[in-house]
Amino acid sequence: MSTTTDCGCQPTPATYTVKDFRSNLKPIWCPGCGDYGVVTALYRALVNIGRPPHEIAFISGIGCSSRIPGYTTAYGFNTVHGRALPIAQGIKMANPDLTVLVAGGDGDGFSIGGGHVPHAIRRNLDLTYIVMDNHIYGLTKGQLSPTTPRGSKTPTSSYGSIEEPVNPLLYVLAYGAGFVAQGVPADMEGLANLIEEAIRYPGFAFVNIQSPCITFGEPDDQLKAQKTRMRKLAAEGHDPSNRLRAMELAQAYGTELYTGVFYRNPNPPITYDQHIRDRQAELQPTAAEE
């Protein structure tokens, strides 16, 4: 990557290492949890971005995935359940020069926090929203979540879920997100590249990560299964500038495991935070007025 964007990302080679972004706090996820791979990919992406930790803010909600800010040396803030996006928007507006990342799970993002997603997208602040989608409420002992497959047996659906799952990819595409991607920790290099590309995109970027829950998740979702199921969009010849085709592919969520960039707006619109900068410049008094 070599393009500078309004996220403040540097085009020069990285001068940091993974150690610079890894905090002394040890993760307490279950052994084998996909989130270990996510945080490792995140470290690698931040190394390539090349910004120092104090120029990065990492905001999360509540849940297993939302522990991630504590495992980095960036500024971190655990918000209340489902409220990471509005807090992150406030931070970005208060300090547009920060690179702001948002992390959460499928329950955090598409249940109690689902109402915030479309408004973050339509405002188009320069945020990167990373959702660790494990199809379950892992922290609170395995209840069904918005993305739990129909028929799954959980403590809240002992006879099998009768609900249709939310499709996160189609959800954000339909609301007009300018960058939409999906990755898996089974493909560490690919996931790190996706996160880096999302951060560099000048606007709201969404990365859905199929991060398996080793304790309560479905066997077909585990890392070994991901390696055999995953289909890379680039290898399929997908053109990420084709939004309609991206939406067609997104409809296979839950049946096919596509990874890569579904959609990247080739002509990114001006971001909300840039609108704020412009408005402030307009309101500054001229020398004559002073």
pLDDT, tens only, 237-265: 999 999 999 999 999 999 999 999 999 99
Contact 99, 57 (CB under 8 A): yes
Q: Does residue 288 have a pLDDT over 50?
A: yes
Mean pLDDT, the chain, rounded, equals: 90
Q: Return the pLDDT at 1.
A: 42
Does an H or E element contain 101, and which? strand 99-105
Q: Does residue 13 have a pLDDT over 70?
A: no
Q: Return the pLDDT at 290.
A: 61
Contact 194, 207 (CB under 8 A): yes
pLDDT, tens only, 125-170: 999 999 999 888 887 887 888 988 898 888 888 898 899 999 999 9
In this prediction, residue 87 has a pLDDT band, given cuts at 50, 70 and 90, of very high
What proportion of the chain, given as a percentage, has pLDDT over 90?
Answer: 64
205-210 and 179-183 as β-strands: parallel, antiparallel, unpaired? parallel
In sequence order, the 6+-apart residues with CB closer than 8 A to the CB of 180 are 169, 172, 173, 205, 206, 208, 246, 250, 261, 262, 263
Q: Return the pLDDT at 81.
A: 85
Q: Does residue 289 have a pLDDT over 80?
A: no
- Enumerate domains of the chain plus CATH numbers: 18-283 (3.40.50.970)
Mean pLDDT over 110-122 rounds to: 92
Q: Return the pLDDT at 8.
A: 56
Q: Return the pLDDT at 89.
A: 96
Buried/exposed 205-226: b ≥16 CB within 10 Å, e otherwise:
bbbbbbbbbbbbbeeebbbebb
Q: Return the pLDDT at 156.
A: 85
Q: Return the pLDDT at 272.
A: 93
CA distance 108 to 102: 11
Higher pLDDT, 91 or 149: 91
Q: Return the pLDDT at 131.
A: 96
Q: Does residue 2 have a pLDDT over 90?
A: no
Q: Return the pLDDT at 75.
A: 94
Query: What is the value of pTM for the model shown?
Result: 0.90
- How many other C-beta atoms are found inside a 10 Å radius of the C-beta of residue 63? 25
CA distance 7 to 141: 37
Lowest mean pLDDT across 85-99, 107-121, 144-158: 144-158
Per DSSP, the residues of 26-37 read PP-SPTT-THHH
pLDDT, tens only, 56-65: 999 999 888 8
Mean pLDDT over 181-186 rounds to: 96
Mean pLDDT over 78-83 rounds to: 88
Residue 275: strand, helix, or coil: helix
In this prediction, residue 82 has a pLDDT band, given cuts at 50, 70 and 90, of confident
Contact 145, 135 (CB under 8 A): yes
